[in-house]
Structure 1
Amino acid sequence: MTAEQLAARIGLPAEGSACALRLISPRQAETEYFPLLEQQETEFLQAIARHPRPELAVLAVYLAYAAAQYPRWKARGIPDEVFFATMGDMAIWYREHRHRTGKPGLVEWAWLLESLKGRLVRLGRLQYQPRTLDAPARWQEEVFPAGTRVLEVHIPAEQPLAPQAVADSLQQARAWFGQKEYALFHCHSWLLAPALRGLLPAGANLLRFQDLFTVYDVDMTCRQAEERVFGALLDDPSAYPGNTRLQRSLRDYLQQGGRVGVGIGCRPLNA
């Protein structure tokens, strides 16, 4: 598996991978960056940030590293579809960089290490990250204490959040991770914000996703909803675009002084 082949398999545009790999070859990435990437992630991120073209340099290193990891994932019996779906997070954040800047590159470098290192896996529509609760969580009337092992659910920003695709993904996660070691699916996302119920029509996919969880807390300081819905944060809500029904509803809500925040919710794996 070459870096170029991996880029093609995950849907990364050829212009982006070619540009990056001309800047740093896989051999150079292996000798100069892999040791830090494997042992000292913070130092690696600091080192890559000092490169004259860090957004392309990190893309080159990540492509080379992911390609080098492919035989190890295969040896562990991980199917190709899971490997490439997981590494496909690079293509998502490549497109986001393109959207923000008009140029090839990557954003969310630290976040992408979760996929590269196998600390997160994508199964169908959703991503899953094993961790332990750092504060109690509540499902209906049951409280799960800090330290409970959970699967953190992340929602990649691409295809529609179709209910059947979500259900299929949750079932894949139950089979992949087993239902004894982890007590809960746990999610921290703007998609769980209760305010959405006043902004979306009944039966909307986002609300059906929200219905899967008991939302037991809301962080009103986070503006993730604005960032995801509009693509960027602005100080003046009236300057936000209104190209979709959700954009128009959210823009009006914000202009009236409303806030969305992010919801924090959970559901048992066996529910």
Structure 2
Amino acid sequence: MEQYLPADEELADALLELAVPFDAVNGVLAARSRLARDRGLRTVFEEMLHLQTAAVGTLGRPSGLTPDWPAGTDGGGLLSTLLFVALAPHTRAYHRTLGVAPEVTRTTLADLGRQLAVSRWRGRPTGLGSPSWLTLHFRGELFQLGRLQFQRRSTTGDGGPDARVAEAARAAGLGEWILQLHVPDSSGPLSPAACDRSLERARAFFPAHFPAEPYRAACIFSWLLDPQLGHYLPDDSNIVRFQRRFVPLCRPGGPPEPEDTNPLRYVFGDAGQPLASLPRDTAVQRALVDHLGAGGHWYVIGGRLAL
């Protein structure tokens, strides 16, 4: 294992560099010890690491990295965390070949720690609830630039996880390349100034590091763009002002289906709780609960803005 994981005394430092929460470090160290003892598990780990390493610098998620990977084990979430620790040097090396600033690399890969915290908040006792999401960061497909994350997407032959995004961009005539926006948890207010800074950074970052991929537009599909939020929130709220940046981007196939659990999951963590038990401390919390309580639904809506 010495060839792909830091030595025991260095592994804790490597985890902290990736923002892994302190209370998760001992569990990951135990997963490394288990890996050292179990040759079969080590073989599975090495095969997945080889697959993910080969994918660095390419677009589209490799298959197989599910929340219960490796199948049949009780430490899958922590083993996938360990996998990203082993993958991080390859990602950093790729970023260096592109000339990406170390601060951008650090902030992007620190989403590992955020996702561990979010997974626990959403009810998973240990490990990662969506490890495949992090393959975007570690393969160089997604970068965090300030408040927002930007995912490189091809609209032609895109076999990625959400092909509807590419289909909508093609239908809108946005060209071969788009940036898909993501709004990460626990990154501060979604203020207009913070969004302006992120977008300006993106306008400079991608032409500098990916000159063969001309990005004309940024696209997003999110419950944050549901116009019904404007019925509950003031005009000067960050969410309403965020919505105003975009013009509609419709997915093919007719009107969207309700996705009530989507905003509940992001705002409350556990989307299965009774509405009456949910907190009502913020305007957004009250809006989500009151709208559903009145028989309404929430939708994931698409938008685009020019770059």
**TM-score normalised to structure 1 length:** 0.86
CA distance in 2, matches of 1:65, 1:129: 19
Query: Which residue in 1 is equivalent to 2:258?
Result: 221
Give secondary structure in 1 for the equivalent of 2:281: coil
Match runs of 1:121-140 below 5 Å: 121-133=143-155, 134-137=166-169
Q: Which moved more, 1:76-85 or 1:111-120?
A: 76-85
- Deviation by residue 1:161-220 (Cα, 9 ceiling, x = unmatched): 121111000001000112981111101111111111012111101111111111243634
Contact 1:153 1:186 in 2 (8 A): yes
The corresponding residue for 2:215 is 182
Matches of 2:92 and 2:174, distance apart in 1: 35
Contact kept, 8 Å, 2:65 with 2:131, in 1: the verdict is no
Matched, 1:149 2:177: yes
Q: Secondary structure at the match of 2:224?
A: helix
Q: How does 1:151-170 map to 2 (within 5 A)?
A: 151-158=179-186, 159-170=188-199
Give the drift of 1:49: 3.6
Structure 1 unaligned regions, length at least 5? none
Aligned to 2:270: 232
After superposition, residues 235-246 of structure 1 pair within 5 angstroms as: 236-246=274-284
Change in 2 beyond 3 A, CA 1:3/1:33: farther
* Distance change >3 Å, CA 220–CA 106, structure 1 → 2: same
Distance in 1, Cα, partners of 2:79 & 2:48? 10
- Residue-by-residue CA offset, 1:130-159 (whole Å, 9 max, x unaligned): 113433459xxxx73275421111110112
Pairing partner for 1:17 from 25, 28, 33: 25
In the alignment, residue 108 of structure 1 is paired with which amino acid?
Answer: S
- Residue in structure 2 matched with residue 35 of structure 1 by the alignment: 50
Aligned residue among 238, 249, 257 for 2:287: 249
SS at match of 1:42: coil
Call closer, same or farther: CA 1:234–1:14 in 2, change over 3 Å. closer
1:208 paired residue number:
241
Offset, 1:3: 4.5
Whole-Å separation in 2 of the counterparts to 1:237 and 1:220: 21
Aligned to 2:226: 193
Give the conservation status (yes or no) of the 8 Å contact 1:3–1:67: no
Structure 1 counterpart SS, 2:301: strand
Higher strand share: 1
Tell me if the contact between 2:192 and 2:241 (Cα under 8 Å) persists in the aligned partners.
yes
Give the counterpart letter for 2:142 in structure 1: L
Question: Retained in 1: the 8 A contact 2:137–2:143?
Answer: yes
Root-mean-square deviation (CA), in Å?
2.8
CA contact (8 A) 2:174 2:217 kept: no
More displaced stretch, 48-57 vs 203-212 = 48-57
What's the secondary structure of 1:103's corresponding residue?
coil
TM-score (norm 2): 0.77
* 1:59 maps to which of 81, 85, 89: 81
For residue 250 of structure 1, report the CA deviation from its aligned partner.
1.8
3-state DSSP of counterpart to 2:259: coil
Give me the whole-angstrom Cα distance separating, in 1, the residues matched to 2:203 and 2:257: 31
CA distance in structure 1 between the aligned counterparts of 2:14 and 2:100, rounded to whole angstroms? 16
The corresponding residue for 1:259 is 297
Contact 2:123 2:269 in 1 (8 A): no
Q: Which runs of 5+ in 2 are unaligned?
A: 1-5, 37-41, 56-61, 156-165
